């Protein structure tokens, strides 16, 4: 849960957000995925869908052009 990560990770849908300063929280999230491979697979599939739909090269260039006002 740091930087641009919350923009791409939807908690419980395509990943798990952890406090980067809390090793116990990070370990708990990793353990949850290791304990439930089906959950990890579903989240991985959802993450790939999000990436291919929302983070394409064309879309990122468009966002950058808008940001710099070109």
User: Residue 1 in contact with residue 17, Cβ under 8 Å?
Assistant: yes
DSSP 2: -
User: Residue 29 in contact with residue 18, Cβ under 8 Å?
Assistant: yes
DSSP string, 16-69: ----TT-HHHHHHHHHHHHH-HHHHHHHHHHHHHHHHHH--HHHHHHHHHHHHT
Mean pLDDT across 19-35: 96
pLDDT of residue 51: 87
Average pLDDT, the chain: 88
Q: Predicted confidence band at 53 (pLDDT cuts at 50, 70, 90)?
A: confident
């Amino acid at each position: 849960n740091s930087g641009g990560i919350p923009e791409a990770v939807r908690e419980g849908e395509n990943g798990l957000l952890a406090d980067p300063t809390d090793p116990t929280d990070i370990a708990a999230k990793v353990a949850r995925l290791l304990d439930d491979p089906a959950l990890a697979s579903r989240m991985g599939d959802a993450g790939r869908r999000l990436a291919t739909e929302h983070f394409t090269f064309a879309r990122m260039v468009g966002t950058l052009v808008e940001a710099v006002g070109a």
